[in-house]
Structure 1
Amino acid sequence: MPDFSNSVNLKYVKLGYQYLVNHFLTLSLVPIILGVMVQLFRFGPDEISRLWTALRFDFVHVLCSCFVIIFAATLYFMSKPRPVFLVDYACYKPPVSCRVPFATFMEHSRLNLSKEPKSVDFQMRILERSGLGEETCLPPAIHFIPPTPTMESARGEAELVIFSIMDSLFDKTGIKPKDIDILIVNCSLFSPTPSLSAMVVNKYKMRSNIKTFNLSGMGCSAGVISINVAHDLLQFHPNSNALVVSTEIITPNYYQGKERSMLLPNCLFRMGGAAILLSNRRSDRWRAKYRLLHVVRTHKD
């Protein structure tokens, strides 16, 4: 059995197979339509006229023909992928009291890492090259000297970020919490029990039959994975709204050691979050900001 893994890029085979499955009915009808058109072109006007005259339509033939046409049209529209629209989104804007300019961050680092001057210098070099601005923010627990990365503080940050962006999204769209059919919350580093998705459902008194998913431990691709999960679910649940909440909780992950790889999150991660409302309802087409066409996630072995 030959090994095609080295000669054929399997991801293109997968994409081709997926396209074939999604458009099977359309691709099947194309050769039939072409065959009928070629045959009609071969006939002359007189032959087409005689063929039309020779037809004898009765009620049974008309009924069967209508049934076949309606069945084929229904099958075609049901097999088409449902369009997914991004109705609106909201991003978290931290309060001014949480801002951490470079000078403040480095002063706190010198006090918290007074026994590790090399770690302080390393953080300064990373911060200068990070591309962060002077108005980025850290959660309140990190402002203390020393920081207080407790579970209670982490919960407080999660509630502050998630509830703020959800309130903003509900205000912008006019949608009610009970209108949400699918809820997906992703946070890579903080995965408490009860989950963040359960916290949201309890806060907003969402429906008991809502489908909830809490994704964690997936790194920087968690946001893309959440969108992909929402897209797949909306293909099987018609007339549904999906709410995707993406954030990263910083409080429990502040590092005060000398491992440089673990010092990087101190310099790069800041408070933030986004809530996105997706819908497959045709009525939302006109007010949606975007339409979701492709979800691409890449990785290297």
Structure 2
Amino acid sequence: MIFLENEGITNPKLNLALEEYALRNFSADSDYLLFYINEPSIIIGRNQNTLEEVNQNYVEENNIHVVRRVSGGGAVYHDFGNLNFSFITNHDVKSLNNFKKFTAPVIKVLKSLGLDAELKGRNDIEVDEKKISGTAQFSTGKRMVSHGTLLLDTDLGEVVNALNVKMSKIQSKGHKSVRSRVANISEYLKTPLKIEEFRSLLLEGLYDESEPFETYHLTPEEWKAVHQLKEEKYDTWEWNYGRSPKFNIQRTRRFPIGEIDLRIFVEKGTIKDFKIFGDFFGKEPVETLEKIVEGTRYEKSDITNLLKDISLNEYFGDISKDDFIELIYGEDEIE
């Protein structure tokens, strides 16, 4: 395992560019660990509709960054009280969506600090049924990143202020508010820790899980490439806010694998535009599936025939084909 030093950068666009650059370019002969702390920001899941996830007026008035990441899952709020971790490893079918494997060493460190932490639901680390960490994954097919947040001392009020939390998500969690089911790690510590101290303790604990880490500092040439990726991708409106479609049909349903939100534009009986949003995790980009569906007649038999040889699990995780077809062509209101 090699520890990547991010040199104290707190710009979320640059940190996400660093993470992706390392994922796509660093040697497959080694695994990498990256820590970073971001300025106040909302990090959007790869498949989400940004304009519907954020309180746009609030984020603009408070200079909160809005950045899309490469992995699926839901939108999360970052600030200086939140520590982010990333494990970059070779792609492994057994490891994809295996959040237990990658959270186990983190949970072990949290337990050493006195927290009764455990992995719950799809991808959350919880203490006393309150979420203190969320995780997500992304695979290129050759390499994969498993990353997550650790809420040490985040301003939880800003989570509600900056995000538009959908009722379907609140109802699925069985709670009246998101604030009530999120907590800071600091609430469970006997001795207060600064974020830098917490980072050091976590790193020391992870050292114990393997051979001593090598610390790697990027070269000037590598940093130049990271900055270029930031400018060409993470700085752009197209990446962070794009994909807002023209539609005349909306279908939304929450499944065990997450919410799927379809926006369909039908003209003269044919699907002209088909967009998929949600907080699900999948290996293949949903844009591929969107292109397959576009141009098809908006008839259940046509859609069923079109999807008969398509593996939907590659895009969404464990979902039945019948459920997805029903979502496309079901009742008018599925909220």
| TM-score, structure 2 as length reference | 0.21
* Highest RCO, 1 vs 2 (Cα 8 Å, sep ≥ 6): 1
Return the index of the structure with the highest Cα Rg: 1
| TM-score, structure 1 as length reference | 0.22
Q: Comparing both structures, which one devotes a greater share of its residues to strand?
A: 2
